[in-house]
Amino acid sequence: MNGDNNGTQSGDGSVNIGIGDFRGATLNLGNGGKPAFTPEQMAIKRSSVLGGASIKAGTLSVFGIVTGIASIVGLYFTLFQPFSQPRHSSWYALFMFLFMLGTFSFVVAAVLRRKRFEPFLLRKYYLEAGTRDGIYLSSFTATCPWCRSKMRLRNIGPKNGPRDDRFICERNPRQHTIDLDPTLLPEIEE
Ligand SMILES: [Zn+2]
């Protein structure tokens, strides 16, 4: 009896694998029920902020580590030296600021090496990694495929929740929106 059951189940298994493959293909094409557009069809335009200035991820990483360690040493002497000023002096604030700056720099360098694209400022400026370890600040516009108006890329969503990078049409901002897949953007050649 057991042998018969096993035979039937293996047959079902092969059908299930087929359905799984089909669903995967649909997800790739569907884009959440909306038509998918290529960057060329949308005429996506990257604008370099700061005149295209860049910093190497390696430099940023080292800066983060050095600043972090220096600020910890500074904090130690600020907090524990017996003949120093009151604990919460402006030195304390300065070293705390440097510590956060160092940590932030280190994390940004690590994240960009992995993701190559990360929202950075005011929900409209993005940090991007170039082909040779450079980090750039960019903003993006596109042409709306439905009405040919200008679109701007915005980082949309709740403050602490999941956020999307979405092109939003200036003429019909509610209906003409396209989620960006940043892996489709052209590389920044260095
Ligand atoms: Zn539009």
CB 164 within 8 A of CB 141: no
The predicted pLDDT at position 48 comes to 87
Between 26 and 82, name the one with better pLDDT: 82
Tell me whether residue 90 is exposed, middle or buried, using C-beta atoms within 10 angstroms of its C-beta: 0 to 12, 13 to 18, 19 or more: exposed
The predicted pLDDT at position 11 comes to 42
Q: For a pLDDT cut of 90, what percent of the chain falls above it?
A: 34
The per-residue DSSP string of 53-93 comes to -EEEHHHHHHHHHHHHHHHHHHHHHHHH-TTSS-TTSHHHH
User: What sign does the CA torsion over 119, 54, 100, 97 have?
Assistant: negative
Q: Tokens 């993701």, residue?
A: 115
Q: What is the pLDDT of residues 58-114, one digit of tens each?
A: 899 899 999 999 999 888 887 776 665 555 578 888 888 999 999 999 998 998 888
The predicted pLDDT at position 185 comes to 86
Q: Decide if pLDDT at 169 tops 50.
A: yes
Mean pLDDT of 158-162: 85
The predicted pLDDT at position 187 comes to 86
- CA 166 to ligand 1 centroid distance, Å: 13
- CA 41 to ligand 1 centroid distance, Å: 13
The predicted pLDDT at position 86 comes to 58
Mean pLDDT of 156-171: 90
- CA 16 to ligand 1 centroid distance, Å: 41
Tell me the sheet residues that pair with 127: 118, 137
Q: How many CB atoms lie within 10 A of CB 180?
A: 21
Q: Decide if pLDDT at 55 tops 80.
A: yes
- CA 91 to ligand 1 centroid distance, Å: 52
Q: What is the phi/psi pair of residue 107, to 5°? A: -65, -45
**Lowest-confidence range among 24-28, 117-121, 127-131, 150-154?**
24-28
The predicted pLDDT at position 32 comes to 52
- CA 186 to ligand 1 centroid distance, Å: 23
The predicted pLDDT at position 37 comes to 83
CB 182 within 8 A of CB 165: yes
CA 3 to chain centre: 52
Q: How do the domains of the chain map onto residue ranges?
A: 39-184
Mean pLDDT of 29-50: 74
Return the structure tokens found at 119.
């929202």
